[in-house]
Structure 1
Amino acid sequence: MGKVTLQDVAVHAGVSMKTVSNVVRGYRHVSEPMRDRVQAAIDELGYRPNVSGRTLATGRSNMLAFAFPDLRRPYFAELAHVFSRVCAERGYQLLLEETGDSAEGERSAVRGREAGVVDGVVIHPQVLSPEAIDAIRGDTAVVFLGEDVRPRSADQVAIDNAGAAAEAVAHLAALGCRRIGFFGHETGPESRTSSFRLDGYRAGLADAGIATEFLVPREVGDAIGAEVAFGRALDEGLDVDGLLCRDDLAAVGVLRAMRLRGLEAPRDIAVIGWDAIGLGSSLAPSLTSVAPDTVALAETALDLLAERIDGVDLPGRYVTVGHRLLVGESAPYPDGSVD
């Protein structure tokens, strides 16, 4: 058999071409028996959608791209999973693209590396400035995630990083902590993420009437690097009773460094992470962590992107979604309970 067409699948399944198209596009309002029937025909015939042809016919591919720094980081892996699920619910296919924390990777994603294939791009930038983004994005529909990029002509979705950090410090203060540190920011120039979380940490200290801050950076942004950096700080005499970590990988390293030195959380140091990755609830003690509302993040970003794809022409919009403190054993509630 030559190239299998949409019509071949429709004839084989005994349905209309529109029904086959709805199944291929992931349209939600197709009954499960009908979806199974069409999918069986697709599998049997080996049909593959002609993306370029569909794009020419409709002007849309129903395909989006999600660009992020590194899939090996648990937060981005979990966020990619959420985006994939929300896209599927809306009838989109999703391409995943790692930018590698590089300006070139981010430029390629913003320009729409898959131009002609994707209808729009959601990107979590780490390097590019607002001016650089505005200069290169062209006609690509783009929505940004994360901290203070705020390009003039594109939309951005984030949580309140400073506010969340202040809330975490307030939680530690409510536990009786008075020597509260911040761990895990960069040794070199601070990222926007670290900068906002440090601002919130300092605001939280001020609100609690605490004058002394303890800042411990790390050289390598993984759990092993965190263990080495925090262990060294402990060996050099760091004396804290509460700790807000930049992210959960930093907190994982902290807990191991503490355990190797006979320290326990929260008895010796109450520890809070950030991102609420799935691993945190499996640790002993389970990790207290700032939990961004990743579903709201994905849904809001896709809502804004759909409007841009449909031609909405407005100045860049900045939308904040919710977060919560997921309380585990490493920094429980004052009565000792956890979520």
Structure 2
Amino acid sequence: MAGVRLQDVAELAGVSMKTVSNVVHDYQHVSPRMRERVQRAIDELGYRPNMLGRRLATGRTGLLALAFADVTLPYFAELARRVSDLAEEQGYRVLLEQTDGTLEGERAVVSSSEAGLVDGVIFQPSVMSSAELAQTRTDIPMVILGEGAAPLSIDRVMIDNVAAAREATGHLLALGRRRIAFAGHEQVHFSRTSELRIAGYQAALEDAGLAADPGLLIPTLAISPIDAATAVGAALDAGLEVDAIMCRDDLAAIGALRALQERGLRVPGDVAITGWDNTMMTAVTFPSITTIAPDLTALASRALGMLQERIDGLTAMGRHELVGFELVTRESAPAV
């Protein structure tokens, strides 16, 4: 209902406006019976507290921002769900902000655009430098996710991409594969994420006494299954011989799977495949895809925990922490 006021809720519940305000602001001294009575009136009238008024009264809005490059990418969609669910348990609502992976979009996240609206920001940068992030405004608490720029002054949570890539490549080696390609990294604007995953891939090859071959790197124009299918298909048509492909992400793995099947190559018989992110679709492709699974629950939980500590006034130097991952083995590269 439009235009519902605090006074309207108080009149319906038969209580004072102060009591309604106490319930809205979740003050602890309100009795359960009174809280339930006021909440029924709030629900019946569809009352929504004014965020500016709440900030003026408590210093907080109860809103958090979650910002990353592209909300359509399955990994970010699944991460957003985890963050939103955990934030709700802590009494917060989450606003999604898409940066499109542009410098302008990322600068907007850390500038005045969020001032007065949210209590804190969880942000996965793609292009902003560590130096620029370090000089951003400090009145909005922020936690950074992922492998990109992370100044010492800002908290960051990520998985160990080198170790994970090393494990995925080691699994392919344990299956007896020796011509292992890496597919899906950017052809232009090479990201820190791709850099770390290729480093782990190369380390695993060298552990097995194999020389890293630049000819086995298959870049794509964009992070998408269509571009991956095109790139892998072109490499195969040009004569590239492989018996396994470690993919930068699940989208690249799905594209590679398509390219191989179109050329009559069996997975995993002729070519084994691994992906990255353990997005929902990897369990239902044919064959299903072996993939690196970041612990998204731990990632979201730790980021929210750090952010809450900053909101509560913590002013220490940034904490850079790792959460776990596992290799989920499926049909495209089965267990040894």
Q: Which residue of 2 aligns with 1:206?
A: 206
Q: Which residue of 1 aligns with 2:110?
A: 110
Q: Is the alpha carbon distance of 1:4 and 1:284 closer, same or farther for their aligned partners in structure 2, counting shifts above 3 Å?
A: same
Farther-moved stretch of structure 1 (209-218 vs 94-103): 209-218
Q: What is the CA RMSD across the aligned residues, in angstroms?
A: 2.6
**2:202/2:212 contact within 8 Å kept:** no
Q: Which residue of 2 aligns with 1:289?
A: 291
From 233, 236, 250, the counterpart of 2:235? 233
Q: Is the alpha carbon distance of 1:260 and 1:25 closer, same or farther for their aligned partners in structure 2, counting shifts above 3 Å?
A: farther
TM-aligned CA deviation for residue 37 of structure 1: 6.8
- In structure 1, C-alpha distance between the alignment counterparts of 2:329 and 2:18, rounded to whole Å: 49
Farther-moved stretch of structure 1 (32-41 vs 173-182): 32-41
From 190, 197, 219, the counterpart of 2:221? 219
Q: Which residue of 2 aligns with 1:321?
A: 323
**1:64/1:92 contact within 8 Å kept:** yes
SS at match of 1:315: coil
**2:165/2:198 contact within 8 Å kept:** yes
Q: Which residue of 2 aligns with 1:272?
A: 274
User: Which consecutive residues of structure 1, in runs of 5 or more, have no partner in the other structure?
Assistant: 335-339
- Aligned-residue sequence identity (percent) comes to 54
Q: Which residue of 1 aligns with 2:152?
A: 152
**1:121/1:141 contact within 8 Å kept:** yes
TM-aligned CA deviation for residue 7 of structure 1: 4.9
Matches within 5 A, 1:9-88: 9-13=9-13, 41-88=41-88
- In structure 2, C-alpha distance between the alignment counterparts of 1:37 and 1:241, rounded to whole Å: 66
Q: Which residue of 2 aligns with 1:305?
A: 307
TM-aligned CA deviation for residue 316 of structure 1: 1.6
Could you tell me which amino acid in structure 1 is paired with residue 153 of structure 2?
A: S
**2:125/2:148 contact within 8 Å kept:** no
SS at match of 2:182: strand
Could you tell me which amino acid in structure 2 is paired with residue 41 of structure 1?
A: A
Q: Which residue of 2 aligns with 1:139?
A: 139
- In structure 2, C-alpha distance between the alignment counterparts of 1:294 and 1:26, rounded to whole Å: 29
SS at match of 2:321: strand
TM-aligned CA deviation for residue 328 of structure 1: 1.0
How far does the alpha carbon of each residue in 1:109-166 deviate from its partner, in whole angstroms, 9 at most, with x for none?
Answer: 1125221110111100000011011122332211100004221211100000011000
- In structure 2, C-alpha distance between the alignment counterparts of 1:264 and 1:18, rounded to whole Å: 69
- In structure 2, C-alpha distance between the alignment counterparts of 1:77 and 1:26, rounded to whole Å: 30
- In structure 1, C-alpha distance between the alignment counterparts of 2:31 and 2:262, rounded to whole Å: 56
Farther-moved stretch of structure 1 (160-169 vs 147-156): 147-156
SS at match of 2:110: helix
Q: Which residue of 1 aligns with 2:162?
A: 162
Could you tell me which amino acid in structure 2 is paired with residue 56 of structure 1?
A: L
SS at match of 2:135: helix
- In structure 1, C-alpha distance between the alignment counterparts of 2:61 and 2:207, rounded to whole Å: 51
**2:144/2:156 contact within 8 Å kept:** yes
Q: Which residue of 1 aligns with 2:126?
A: 126
Q: Which residue of 2 aligns with 1:337?
A: none
How far does the alpha carbon of each residue in 1:306-326 deviate from its partner, in whole angstroms, 9 at most, with x for none?
Answer: 111122112221110001111
TM-aligned CA deviation for residue 179 of structure 1: 1.0
Q: Which residue of 2 aligns with 1:247?
A: 249
- In structure 2, C-alpha distance between the alignment counterparts of 1:178 and 1:12, rounded to whole Å: 73
Instruction: Please report the TM-score for the alignment, with normalisation by the length of structure 1.
Output: 0.91
Could you tell me which amino acid in structure 2 is paired with residue 74 of structure 1?
A: P
- In structure 1, C-alpha distance between the alignment counterparts of 2:311 and 2:19, rounded to whole Å: 25
Farther-moved stretch of structure 1 (118-127 vs 213-222): 213-222
**2:123/2:143 contact within 8 Å kept:** yes
Q: How many residues align?
A: 333
TM-aligned CA deviation for residue 22 of structure 1: 8.0
- In structure 2, C-alpha distance between the alignment counterparts of 1:127 and 1:43, rounded to whole Å: 43
TM-aligned CA deviation for residue 83 of structure 1: 0.7
Could you tell me which amino acid in structure 1 is paired with residue 322 of structure 2?
A: T
SS at match of 2:86: helix
